[in-house]
Structure 1
Amino acid sequence: MNLHALIAAALLLCAPIAHARDAGTPPRAGDAPGGSIPQLQGPITIDGKLDDAAWQGALVQEIGYEIQPGDNIPAPVKTIVRIGYSADALYVAYHAMDDDPSQIRAHLRDRDAAFDDDWVGVFLDTFDDNRRGYELIVNPLGVQSDLIRDETNTDNQEDASWDGLWQSAGQLTPDGYDVEIRIPFSTLRFPTGGEAQRWGIALFRNWPRDKRHQLASRKVPRESNCFQCEWGKYEGFAGARQGRNLEVVPTLAMGKSQSRGAAGQPWQDGDTSIEPGVDISWAPSPAMTLNATINPDFSQVETDQLQLNFNDSFALFYQEKRPFFLEGADYFSSQFDVLYTRQIADPDYGLRITGRTGSGAYGAIVARDATTLLLLPGVLGSGFEQLDQKADVAVGRYRYDFNSHVSVGAIGTFRQGDDYANNVAGVDARWQQGAHTATAQLLHSQSEYPADIVDAYQDELGDDATPAGNAWRAEYAFGNRNWNFDAWHVDIDPGFRADLGFMGQVGYDKSLVGGGHSWFRDDKAFNRINVYADFDITHRYDGQLLEREWEGQVSVQGPKQSNLRLHGMTRQRFWQGTLFDEHYVDVNANYQPNGNLQLGAYAQVGTMIDLDAEKTGRRTMLEFWGNANVGRGIAMDWDLIRQRMRRDGGTAFTATVLNTGGSWQFDPRQRLRLTLQGSEVQRDQALYTDPVDQTARDWAAQMVYSYKVNPHTVVYAGASYGAFMDDDNPDLFGDTRAVFLKLSYGWQP
């Protein structure tokens, strides 16, 4: 399949259905509007001061209900909200009062990092379809957070990776704090046409004290499985326009690295890189966005969280952090993880289209990747492999909503190299009404791999250079105020491959059934108690039992925003021809003694498999984590994990991982961040039949300064240092260091 065919396939999948519902669908019977939003008269300066005369003509609302932990009781504090719009933007102002303003939690933070503070927010369902919404949040100092809410994605309903261009300001006042927000219509997607529209809107306030009180402008029943369905219905926005809605973002990334063979040896110059690029974003209509990138800078600025997989047979998952793939990522989600954009490792260029119709959503990506990264799955493990060849990539996704309860979709991922190909296509469906939700998805894949990959991965591929197979899953879930129930089944053929996704296990089927009950105790120290248990069983494609597992847990919410969970598991697990018995208990706890400190701990003890030795032993794991604020702008965080395996009269291994760091936010635009990471694994070689390293140790440090005018106009400057040693390289400690500079400028003609 050539590139033109890939593009055609992607666009075919995302083509809007001809009989899509008209964007101007009238209100449904029984929907009570929250009000009519007026057009403001006169200018408004976004400075956190509610003294502009134009606010006098705004619609006045109140955030009057506490929906958590209280059950739609009167809000404990008063919040007055004003809403209006101009021809090119939506305006929202908050006057948040507090009986004790000294308790207000407000810190200078980076974007999307102030969720533990006091904050106010406006949530927007611009298509009024209870599917996809915007959540825009501001703390008392004007720090922004923004998320995309996807009601159809039960695993990740809120995605903070989206960064919109909007303005906000806040200030503390003698009786609380004030916030002003301006949201340009060019930042939002909404139905085309200049007529009056109806949007779903929720006004929200977070009031964290002994408990985290969530306050809303409308009541939200605890039994509701669709938060967005409970938002108020507001009419207005006649004549709203987006302007040219074109943005060009040139980028420049420069870096210099050095390395040395051992501590004390001279440093040797490595690569020097100067990479210019450009990103272009254009919305030809309010419901559609086109993005293009040429020689893109796909580097990420801050390092990934350090993980260890020395006693895990499956590849590790890392979150996507690259801006081009983050925007609009929710358009491509489905029940299987068939798109993991970090598999598009080094593209020369990329094109993307995302949009909405009156009845659904669509998206497509086309890219030329300079390398081909594979996730090779198996029954008992998976790993990454890289092909030294370019690949053409295309992805298409479309979802059609018959009504507010039923939707169907299609998705396809296609990748073509010189002697390599992987194509995946499938359909999915979702039904949700009241407490009931049912979902299903069916996929088919066809692949072709070069001979050296087939030879190197006999366990995963056998002798088949052109594997093919199906994957399907079906799920039913029930949830109301007190009860929840879940049952699902998944079946994946051994020949199924989703090389652009993150599906590390194939050749198995698995079934699960579970349920739980919650007790709510309003105005009590421990205000929620939940019990849950489930049973699952997994078989290999030939009928061999892989896992039979029972687990259960009890969790409680208490004072000081505390959470405590006690969990236990027992199972039979197949590994390298033998069924082993595993069981453990664990406890997880965290709390906030005050507004500047959060502490957490996790402990686990039980019988587990040492995979390298193919034996069980007694494993203990301890984790301590937390974060602390010093003044308004200094923050520290830490996460220390240590595990130990004892068996056969000795300690088979100990492993330690540390992730820690701190940041100094000088003002809302400037930030200095320091990160330290390290790990150490020690093994008793006498307790292993096959050779293993006795000691492996590494650590890394990074410092980054950032200046952000907005999410697209940014300066990053930083330096990093890393070191590693093991039995084969006992003196190799201090081997790499680098400096980098990254510039981007968002230009709107």
Structure 2
Amino acid sequence: MKPHALIAALLLCAPFAQAHDSARAGAQDAAPPPAYVPGGRIPLLHGPIVIDGKLDDAAWQGALVQEIAYDIQPGDNTPAPVKTSVRIGYDRNALYFAFHAEDPDPARIQAHLRDRDSAFNDDWVGVFLDTFNDHRRGYELIVNPLGVQADLIRDESNPENQEDPSWDGLWESAGRLTATGYDVEIRIPFSTLRFPRSGGLQRWGISLFRNWPRDKRHQLTSHRVPRDSRCFQCEWGQYTGMEGVHQGRNLEIVPTLTAGLGQTRDAAGTPWGKTDSKVSPGLDVSWAPSPAMTLNATLNPDFSQVETDQLQVNFNDGFALFYQEKRPFFLEGADYFTTPLNVLYTRQIADPDFGLRITGRSDGSTYGALLARDATTQLLVPGVLGSSFESLDQKADVAVGRYRYDFNQHASVGVIGTFRRGEGYDNGVAGLDARWQQGGHTLSAQLLHSDSRYPQAIVDAYSDALGDNPRPSGNAWQVQYNYGNRNWGFSALHVDIDPGFRADLGFIGQVGYRRSALSGNRVWYRDDAAFNRISLAATGGTSSRFDGQLLQRDFKLSLAVQGPMRSSFSLAPLVRTRFWNGALFHERDLSLFAGLWPLPNVRLGLAANAGRVLDLTGSRLGQRLLLNLNGEADVARGINLNWDLIHQRMHRDGGTAFTASIANLGGSWQLTPRQRLRLTLQGSNVERNQALYADTVNQHARDRAAQLVYSYKINPHTALYAGGAWGGFLDDDHPALFGDTRSVFIKLSYGWQP
């Protein structure tokens, strides 16, 4: 069937899908799975357990036995298509889980040797823990059939990023393929977890989970999850026990040593510059004086990144690029500082000499504080129509504080403050936020105020953004309402940010505007059909400058379906009126997305956009085509290849104004569960036609980079990294591609727990 015929068929069948849904929902309500209520008292185990993936230890006979009984996606709390039994118990120092996962066709089990936090597309089992039982923050610990670990922090109050894989806990796991499926054992030391200070009975929410990826990705749980639930964590089973558990000293000292050699040069054919050698010792300390509080300190930290950033090109977009934080000191506990507006973006703390942090929870209180001394001062200079980064060659003192009080599982209020000060410079932000959720309704709001002082050099360089004012100040506020049930969703948003507002430790790249937006969606479920989920959504909004000038008016429709081979497809037309360079431009385009697994070990993705859009540099409308091909393939149990290729082209005024291409290519070989070899290749190419631009443009630009890294990890804190990197470029001033950077490095860290 041709694509347009398929889309038409889906639109025609949507009303019938709704009727089918209602009938099917009624049938499911009338015939639920056999009576099974998760939860109970977790018993004290008697005797040792060896974490080897073999469920033969005698102590398991005294464990609580549970079942992963329900299919919640694509099923609607239907009986799980495969059987999974789970045993749970504890001793004085740790919590234990044993998963016995059966499979009708064990040959189809997806299991690969991978790096940590990389096995999400495999078969896997997991345990999710709400240790404070407040439906706010939880741990997710996941293990594939070969024992590969992944761990995440779940934050129910953050709809933009509910699952954060940056947390790395210290826990043990082992997996083993069997003739009937696979077995997994897990040991979680209580020192790894945070829970209420109590020597008596603990009461935790726990979800037992199994990922079963076949023609569709089946998500199986130990408990029901209604499709109209807005809080997954609220549905977890209730478990008691673990009296008198022992957290231990919970002190970890991690000395680090980084050594590297690097060279640069300015032009092709010139000799490489003097070798820059560096040997840098550092120290990280983590201590939990109570089960609910953690103190962290870092001295002379090595914040070099072992994993490279995804290559991006700030092309035909006036706003600064956002890169994810990857440095462990800032990643741990990052969710404690989350608020609706992004007022803390820790990559703005670029090169700290030291850092101190405290995070904790007590009753309904959640708190965090961060202090640092930064060797440089990096600024994100925002504006109405664009933003850019600037750096001050001076040190800065940094202080951040966050407090939130949860009245109950429905309502909370919080405060946050971020402060940075240097020579002739300071920036302070303080504000309040609140959140209420009940049933399908969620309402959140935040109000912030900032005061700043900038050196005259920054004011002169960015007079358009700062308005010749060295002491800008202003307010920012946001209100958002969301409603959702099984089939319908609605959202309303208003944001208002003054032109003088600055959050220099955050990532707010646009100021001096206000925006209001509405969106709604309808979902149809067809659990026994090839295309099991169909959704139709509409979004519209208006943005205006602080003086009333219209900046943008937009309306977007989106049709999305999920189907066989774990596939998803969407089609989204957009119409937009946009203000730029003193004029309004009328844009219209069409976006297409497709993703599927044609083979069990191969994922393919395509994103395309075509239409009449604005060339920002030329301030002219043209016909643009943007293509993004991405995917990954497991060619052997331990070898993974991945690719992300982007190409865009703009035709206008009888010619091609520009072409731009980006390639991110990677490959990794997991030699053993602890050893990994990774190769990353990156490149970009931009060509502009000077004849179609009034101002002088850089007509040719090309970048190339490569990195090879070997790693040996005993655990997340005890590891060896060694590798090298090369980079090169060309532009109008350097017409031949040449290498301008090259380096080698070695990094050692050792996690010691006295």
TM-score (norm 2): 0.95
Matches within 5 A, 1:111-190: 111-190=116-195
Counterpart selection for 2:713 from 696, 708, 712: 708
State the AA in 1 paired with 2:467: G
Question: How far apart in 2 are the matches of 1:242 and 1:213?
Answer: 36
Pairing 1:546–2:529 present:
no
User: Equivalent residue for 1:235?
Assistant: 240
Pairing 1:645–2:650 present:
yes
Pairing 1:80–2:75 present:
no
Question: How far apart in 1 are the matches of 2:150 and 2:462?
Answer: 44
Give % identity: 69
Shift of 1:360: 2.5
User: Equivalent residue for 1:362?
Assistant: 367
User: Equivalent residue for 1:487?
Assistant: 492
User: Equivalent residue for 1:655?
Assistant: 660
Matches within 5 A, 1:24-423: 34-423=39-428
Question: How far apart in 1 are the matches of 2:615 and 2:257?
Answer: 47
Shift of 1:744: 0.4
Question: How far apart in 2 are the matches of 1:302 and 1:131?
Answer: 30
Question: How far apart in 2 are the matches of 1:698 and 1:734?
Answer: 10
User: Equivalent residue for 1:476?
Assistant: 481
Contact 1:33 1:235 in 2 (8 A): no
SS of alignment partner, residue 739 of structure 2: coil
Shift of 1:730: 1.5
SS of alignment partner, residue 59 of structure 2: helix
Question: How far apart in 2 are the matches of 1:510 and 1:349?
Answer: 39
Shift of 1:534: 1.1
State the AA in 1 paired with 2:84: T
Question: How far apart in 2 are the matches of 1:448 and 1:535?
Answer: 37
Pairing 1:685–2:696 present:
no
Instruction: Output one character per residue of 1:459-495: Cα deviation in whole Å (capped at 9) or x when no partner.
Output: 0001111111000000110000000000010000000
State the AA in 1 paired with 2:171: W
Shift of 1:725: 0.7
Shift of 1:34: 1.0
State the AA in 2 paired with 1:256: L
Question: How far apart in 1 are the matches of 2:319 and 2:347?
Answer: 17
Pairing 1:517–2:522 present:
yes
Shift of 1:620: 0.4
Contact 1:376 1:383 in 2 (8 A): yes
Shift of 1:631: 1.4
Contact 1:431 1:439 in 2 (8 A): yes
User: Please, which runs of 5 or more residues in structure 2 have no aligned partner?
Assistant: 1-36
Contact 1:580 1:609 in 2 (8 A): yes
Question: How far apart in 2 are the matches of 1:631 and 1:256?
Answer: 34
SS of alignment partner, residue 486 of structure 1: strand
User: Equivalent residue for 1:450?
Assistant: 455
State the AA in 2 paired with 1:508: Y
Shift of 1:281: 0.2
Shift of 1:261: 3.9
Contact 2:557 2:574 in 1 (8 A): yes
SS of alignment partner, residue 700 of structure 1: strand
SS of alignment partner, residue 738 of structure 2: coil
Shift of 1:113: 0.3
Give the aligned CA root-mean-square deviation in angstroms.
0.8
Shift of 1:586: 1.2
Contact 2:38 2:223 in 1 (8 A): no
Pairing 1:574–2:549 present:
no
Question: How far apart in 1 are the matches of 2:666 and 2:282?
Answer: 31
SS of alignment partner, residue 315 of structure 2: coil
State the AA in 2 paired with 1:202: S
Contact 1:127 1:191 in 2 (8 A): yes
Contact 1:262 1:732 in 2 (8 A): no
Range 725-734 or range 60-69, more displaced: 725-734
SS of alignment partner, residue 619 of structure 1: strand
Question: How far apart in 1 are the matches of 2:38 and 2:145?
Answer: 29
User: Equivalent residue for 2:615?
Assistant: 610
Shift of 1:264: 4.4
State the AA in 1 paired with 2:357: R
User: Equivalent residue for 1:531?
Assistant: 536
State the AA in 2 paired with 1:395: V
SS of alignment partner, residue 195 of structure 1: coil
User: Equivalent residue for 2:7?
Assistant: none
Question: How far apart in 2 are the matches of 1:99 and 1:676?
Answer: 40
Shift of 1:733: 1.2
Question: How far apart in 1 are the matches of 2:711 and 2:577?
Answer: 50
Shift of 1:259: 2.4
Q: 1:603 to 1:120 in 2, by over 3 A?
A: same
Question: How far apart in 1 are the matches of 2:61 and 2:38?
Answer: 21
State the AA in 2 paired with 1:729: H
Contact 1:300 1:322 in 2 (8 A): yes
State the AA in 2 paired with 1:268: G
Aligned residues between the structures? 718
State the AA in 2 paired with 1:242: Q
Range 671-680 or range 723-732, more displaced: 723-732
State the AA in 2 paired with 1:283: A
Pairing 1:427–2:432 present:
yes
TM-score (norm 1): 0.95
Question: How far apart in 2 are the matches of 1:568 and 1:199?
Answer: 46
Shift of 1:594: 2.1
State the AA in 2 paired with 1:424: V
User: Please, which runs of 5 or more residues in structure 1 have no aligned partner?
Assistant: 1-31
State the AA in 2 paired with 1:672: L
User: Equivalent residue for 1:24?
Assistant: none
State the AA in 1 paired with 2:729: F
Shift of 1:500: 0.1
Contact 2:86 2:99 in 1 (8 A): yes
Contact 2:358 2:368 in 1 (8 A): yes
State the AA in 1 paired with 2:493: W
State the AA in 1 paired with 2:105: D
SS of alignment partner, residue 733 of structure 1: strand
SS of alignment partner, residue 494 of structure 1: coil
Contact 1:261 1:732 in 2 (8 A): no
Shift of 1:256: 0.4
Shift of 1:326: 0.4
Counterpart selection for 2:513 from 500, 504, 508: 508
State the AA in 1 paired with 2:461: A
Instruction: Output one character per residue of 1:93-119: Cα deviation in whole Å (capped at 9) or x when no partner.
Output: 000000100000000000000000000
Q: 1:375 to 1:190 in 2, by over 3 A?
A: same
Range 338-347 or range 264-273, more displaced: 264-273
Question: How far apart in 1 are the matches of 2:74 and 2:38?
Answer: 26
Instruction: Output one character per residue of 1:256-299: Cα deviation in whole Å (capped at 9) or x when no partner.
Output: 01123444443333311111000000000000000000101111
Please list every run of at least 4 consecutive aligned residues from structure 1 whose deviation after the TM superposition is greater than 6 angstroms.
none
Instruction: Output one character per residue of 1:682-714: Cα deviation in whole Å (capped at 9) or x when no partner.
Output: 011000000001110011000000000000001
Shift of 1:303: 1.1
Contact 2:38 2:66 in 1 (8 A): no
Question: How far apart in 2 are the matches of 1:745 and 1:269?
Answer: 32
State the AA in 1 paired with 2:219: Q
